[in-house]
Chain A
Amino acid sequence: MLTYTIRRLVLSIPTLFFIALIIFLLLQLAPGDPMASVPLTIPPEVKEKMREALGLGQPLHIQFLKWLVQLFWIEPQVLIDYLTNRSTLLGWLPDTNFYTPCGPTVEGPCDLRVLSWQTRSPVMDIVVQRLPQTLWVVGMSYVVGILIAIPIGIYSAYRQYSVFDQAGTFITMIGFSIPPFFTGPLLIVIFSVQLGWFPFIYDTTHVVNDWDSFLFQLKQMVMPVMVLALQTTAQISRFMRAAMLDNLNQDYVRTARAKGLSEAVVVIVHVLRNSMIPVITVIALGVPGIFGGAIITEVVFSVNGIGQLLITALFANDLPMVQTLTFMFAVLIVLFNLIADVLYGVLDPRIRYD
């Protein structure tokens, strides 16, 4: 298993390199000029200077290499410095000073981070600011969705073709079919406008420090979490039902019943444990989606998370931001594909990769 994991890790390096190349080329060859919105009164030589300041003067391969160096060499340095200097978790380590920021006072070589063209601040800092909102809303919806989906899937399979199963299948179909840009406004009309229960704009500056503010946080999270959880529930409960159905007719289930075990033990201990194997891998495959944020839901409820960051960066032609975000998503997808495969091998002793 260890050799398999190492082999997959090594193989993922060329994959990621190709993905980085595809994303970079797609963005660079696309005919969008970052200087298009600059006033026409600016003389061309100044414009050329501005272009160079953005790092656009060099040939493509140099730009690509510089971006890779910034992403894989300079950003980790910043992270390590932060961890050893200021974080509570690793602050006891001796302070490191790998990263030298550029500035008028610095002489000699200095390190340039990936800068956003919109704000001129490092992309990673903005991502770190935005990540908590996305993780709270999208991550919570994922957990809620899984918690609802698994019991539904188990019971639907156990009573196949019953009324509950039919209703569950119908809700699953609805979850697949109704897009979030419809359920979002629908929930807003019903629960914010007609009933007035929940706020329809997610207030990201809200600080939780007592019971009332906690209640407010819960209230504002209900609707976006519901919208996203419907989709998660639809997918996971379908997988759960299929996996349970596969296992319920197996010989070992009959043996367990013949031994005189109670129905609850047969279903929960014997069947469920075996059925969870494929479901857990499916759950792992969905995790990158949490970090990627739900672009549409974040736009509908004005959650300023990662998805909203990506779409505003796109409209503002902020190439470094778009490039870095997309690449981060790709890294997460590759990583969790790997984790899902390894988990599958660990959980199911019949699977042998070596």
Chain B
Amino acid sequence: MTDPAPNPNTPLNALQDRDITRPPRSQWREVWDQFKHHKGALLGGGFLLFVTLAVLFGDMVWQLDPKKLDIRNKDIRPIYTAIWNSDAKVSWAHPLGSDNLGRDHMAQIIAGGRASMAVGWAAMILTMLIGTTIGVLAGYFKRLDGPLMRFTDLVLSLPILPLLLVAVTLFRQPLRANFGPEMGMFILIVGVIGVTSWMQTARIVRGDILALKEREFVLAARASGTTSKGIIFRHLLPNVLSPIMVSATLGLATAIITESALSFLGVGFPSDFPTWGKMLADAVPRMQEFPERVMLPGVMISLTVLSVNYLGDGLRDALDPRIRGR
């Protein structure tokens, strides 16, 4: 056997590609790779996903009605109290206990979480919509910049929490009359949080748009006849997506805390409608005997907000191209 004669058509060995070049990786792939390195952000994102799914579908698994009164089974302690206190009144039918009217605590946590998370997400989306719109308009159209930014400064110097309380206490009645007690309150709280917390987003988006619109690709788009609307939606908005996402996580955290604070002060949802803040507030007078009724909703609020904050931290690192790859 002899070596086959070298084929004149094969390229020189040194010029051959050793390994196949992969197609260029997409930007989001890079972001995900960076994001994976942030342990806190991964945990936070996972927990947020878990809580969201749990409050959405939890009532299919745990089918007790959170509003059902069961006076014979009132004041049941959570099942874990039996570990150190064998006399405690516990029952597997109510693993997290029941309150002074016999309403199941687990079902209430699920229902309360649904209200808190719904308010949080809706208020965050509203905040982002208002903030992005004002930021883009102020950054892109020079004529609107002055008035809109003065307006933003004006709103920034309003005392937010007192005004929130004023608005909620004063506009409660008409909205309740028009949309029903629960829906009316939902609209009011979401609207009030949205109207009072968009300013930071608007400022960040405006700053980024101001820098972006001087870049060559915007000039090229304009030269090829793209309308302002096209430039904004196709070229500018995708580029400011990352700061918007970061401030969205912050917005979600603030919205959940604000809703709970309003419920805690007694200006939130009606009394038979559970939310985490309301459960906490209702449990405070009897917390000597039943500390778990304060702890459980409080821990849920804190963990959710903590996970959202960690998620935001990780997103900020992952979306910043200067840090990426380190």
Contacts and interface: CB of A to CB of B under 8 A. Distances in A.
B157 A177 contact: no
B173 A322 contact: no
A296 B313 CA distance: 27
A260 B95 CA distance: 66
Interface string B164-176: 0111011101100
B100 interface: no
Interface stretch (A16-24, A69-77, A117-125): A16-24
Contact of A26 (B167, B295, B310): B167
A167 interface: no
Query: Most chain-B Cβ atoms within 10 A of its Cβ — which of A15, A177, A299?
Result: A177
Given A185-B284, A314-B165, A179 B294 contact: no
Q: Is the interface of A mostly helix, strand, loop or mixed?
A: helix
B261 A179 contact: yes
Contacts of A18: 154
B169 A315 contact: yes
Given A31-B173, A311-B265, A182 B158 contact: no
Interface string B276-314: 010011001001100100110010011001100110010
A22 B295 CA distance: 39
Contacts of A325: 162
B161 interface: yes
B294 A30 contact: no
Contact of B165 (A182, A189, A310): A310
Interface string B245-271: 000000001000100110011000000
Contact of B154 (A15, A27, A173): A15
B280 A295 contact: no
B163 A326 contact: yes
Interface in A311-325: 311, 314-315, 322, 325
Contacts of A188: 287
B167 to A, nearest CB: 7
B24 interface: no
B159 interface: yes
What class of interface size applies to chain B in its complex with A? 35 or more
A334 B288 CA distance: 43
A314 B261 contact: no
Contacts of A300: 284
Interface string A328-342: 011001100100000
Contact of A329 (B153, B159, B309): B159
Given A15-B154, A15-B157, A333-B159, A173 B309 contact: yes
Interface string A68-98: 0000000000000000000000000000000
Contact of B166 (A288, A314, A330): A314
B257 A179 contact: yes
A181 B163 CA distance: 19
A178 interface: yes
A320 to B, nearest CB: 13
Interface of A: 15, 18-19, 22-23, 26-27, 30-32, 173-174, 176-179, 181-182, 185-186, 188-189, 193, 288, 292, 295-296, 299-300, 310-311, 314-315, 322, 325-326, 329-330, 333-334, 337
Interface of B: 40, 153-154, 157-159, 161-163, 165-167, 169-171, 173-174, 253, 257, 260-261, 264-265, 277, 280-281, 284, 287-288, 291, 294-295, 298, 301-302, 305-306, 309-310, 313
5 contacts: A15-B154, A15-B157, A178-B302, A178-B305, A325-B162
